[in-house]
Chain A
Amino acid sequence: MKIVVLVKQVPDSGAERSLRADDNTVDRATANNVINEMDEYAIEEALRLKEAHGGEVVILTMGPDKATDSIRKALSMGPDAAVHVVDDALHGSCAIATSKVLAAALAQQNADLIIAGAESTDGRVQVLPHMLAERLGIAALTGARKLTVDGSTLTVERQTDEGYEVVTASTPAVVSVWDTINDPRYPSFKGIMAAKKKPVQTLSLADLGVAASEVGLDGATSAVLEHGKRPPRTGGNTVEDSGDGGVKLVEFLATEKFV
């Protein structure tokens, strides 16, 4: 089984993040860039499937030059190879354009299974797996908390607000996973040393047959027009209990749709 795992480099969500003043895109230059956390679960799931069924795990990343650090780190967990789509024209690409580029790269891979994190901690739109499945004409099994493979049949427990749904499909397919699906491994020293020697194929837009005009800020279907700092936290509401405190609390929770 050949599995491609989508890995995105994102600014560390545990630190202060910002948008650039000039074009309102994510500031990746000053940030501490890391592997999108959910993608580590995708890598782990792929490695477990490989250990159980054999095959090959390939990392696919679209990102600037410095995304190489995250690719090496991903490889140190155990995947066999990586594909890095890097092109200056990609800067500022929207989700739709990104899916076009990744779909073109995936078309070259002939993967049986494509695994992605359910969302990235910077964009958080959760749409890429669906878009890729649509472009590739294959099934999308998203938001998985469990994935089993039996021959060419994939079965997924799909996490919902109420519980979970059991969904099946045949390979090839796209599966996106939540962080409930496994515990990602830490890279071993052996893995770190081996990662240095693993092949990383670099592809440009021209290699993928995608025009520069279709991607980047100019090709984006949505744009951030302006941004500002989050307003400082305000004092909040204080409920005085004069016998009706409980009711007021429930009313507040109801307006916030917690109950």
Chain B
Amino acid sequence: MQLNDEYQALREAVREFAVESVAPVIGDFYERHAFPYDLIRQMGKMGLFGLPFPTEFDGEGGDYFALCLALEELARVDSSVAITLEAAVSLGAMPIHRFGTEEQKERWLPALCKGEKLAAFGLTEPGFGSDAGGTATRAVLDGDQWVINGSKAFITNSGTDITCLVTVTAVTGTNPDGSKELSTIIVPSGTPGFTVLPGYSKVGWCASDTHELAFDDVRVPVGNLLGERGRGFAQFLRILDEGRIAIAALSVGLAQGCVDESIRYARERRAFGRSIGDFQAIQFKISEMEARAHVARLAYYDAAEKMLAGRPFKKEAAIAKLTASNAAMDNARDATQIHGGYGFMNEFPVGRFYRDAKILEIGEGTSEIQKLVIARELDL
């Protein structure tokens, strides 16, 4: 598949940034579980946070596929900065772009597009993940204010120094059929009663920012409702469908990074008088890894193309996410094996890849949920 010149140039620019600016420093941030503000600032200057947004809001006037290419090239070197970008754009800013009023867009999007501020998306709660009907956070209208109570779990970008808001899904009533009425509400950082709990100690994505959030009688203006009241469920399904393509791209990046590192190591490392890359046992492993990354890439290209063409893409997005996260996990395991003892060391990139891969089978819809989505699309 031939990318056009602009996509190719973007891909090269992000690749250069990842190799020259991210790779040398990210291991240290990862070890310290620290957020790499300077890298995020540079990514902002490159316009990565504004890729799929229109120029009238200081976006780059690109599209979702451009974002996916950037995510792939970043994750090829490091997944923490990639997930920070993915969550900021497809979960943070996208709901405002897609469902916000002109006023909301004008207020929030320019700083988000420039990466000067980050927005987070609060869907998952301590008591529910895949079963979105389990939402327990409630928002009650009191005069011209929403009063929000509840908590959210595993929320990316919610506690950085530059986080400006979190959009929260909350139960705002009961539908005629008795199900919960879900709506999405913007809660600006610093609103009284909104507490960001200390960052999690994570297995992977250690240089990204993830917190549990508590809402205790948090009052925001009625105008902070994002989109229509009662449309929360439909809104986040759309956001998650798109997000799956982005996570697939990120997974392909990790899978390809495993190939890159394995080729490099297989050429250098010697055993029994020759490079280990001369042994078919290693060659075949790397061939399979390359094949997995390649197939997964085609899957996300296809899903993105359908989405941008305005055609149904739910099944393709689920297939891409399922295939790519499998590829990432399998490649991380194989790359670590090729590296032997060094693969078990945090200072080698594959050590990070191994730790970062597992979450890809869980976040933004588990692999099981992807299979459910595919089965439903097959009318099973």
Contacts and interface: CB of A to CB of B under 8 A. Distances in A.
Interface of A: 72-73, 76, 185-193, 196
Nearest to A195: B9
B375 interface: no
Most buried by B among A188, A193, A196: A188
A192 B46 contact: no
A186 B13 contact: yes
B17 interface: yes
Chain B facing A: main interface SS: helix
Interface stretch (B54-62, B244-252, B300-308): B54-62
B46 A193 contact: no
B47 A188 contact: yes
Given A73-B9, A196-B6, A189 B17 contact: no
Given A186-B14, A189-B62, A192-B13, 20 more contacts: A76-B9, A186-B13, A186-B16, A186-B17, A186-B42, A187-B9, A187-B13, A187-B46, A188-B47, A189-B10, A189-B48, A189-B51, A189-B66, A190-B47, A191-B47, A192-B9, A192-B10, A193-B6, A193-B60, A196-B5
Interface string B41-54: 01001111001000
Interface in B42-90: 42, 45-48, 51, 55, 60-62, 66
B16 A192 contact: no
Nearest to A188: B47
Contacts of B55: 190
Nearest to A194: B61
Interface string B1-25: 0000110011001101100000000
Nearest to B45: A185
A191 B14 CA distance: 13
| Interface residues on chain B, size class | 10 to 19
Which of B9, B60, B62 counts the most A-chain CB atoms under 10 A from its CB? B9
B308 to A, nearest CB: 15
Nearest to B42: A186
Contacts of A72: 9
Interface in B191-209: none
B16 A189 contact: no
B6 A188 contact: no
Contacts of A188: 13, 45-47, 60
A59 B206 CA distance: 42
A72 B8 CA distance: 12
Nearest to B51: A189
A252 B181 CA distance: 81
A72 B9 CA distance: 10
B73 to A, nearest CB: 12
What are the 6 tightest A-B residue pairs by CB atom distance, in nearest-first order? A188-B47, A189-B60, A192-B9, A190-B60, A189-B62, A187-B13
A190 B53 CA distance: 11
Nearest to B8: A192
Nearest to B59: A190
A190 B6 CA distance: 10
Contacts of B62: 189, 193
B293 to A, nearest CB: 22
A34 to B, nearest CB: 10
Max chain B Cβ within 10 angstroms of own Cβ: one of A186, A189, A191, A193:
A189
A192 B51 CA distance: 12
A20 B14 CA distance: 33
A190 B61 CA distance: 7
A154 to B, nearest CB: 27
Nearest to B44: A188
B172 to A, nearest CB: 37
A216 B61 CA distance: 44
B45 A193 contact: no
Nearest to B55: A190
A90 to B, nearest CB: 26
A76 B16 CA distance: 14
Interface in B233-274: none
Nearest to A77: B13
Q: Which of A72, A73, A185, A190 has the most CB of B within 10 A?
A: A190
Contacts of B5: 196
Contacts of A193: 6, 60-62
21 contacts: A72-B9, A76-B13, A185-B46, A186-B16, A186-B17, A186-B45, A187-B13, A188-B46, A188-B47, A189-B6, A189-B47, A189-B48, A189-B60, A190-B47, A191-B47, A192-B6, A192-B9, A192-B13, A193-B60, A196-B5, A196-B6
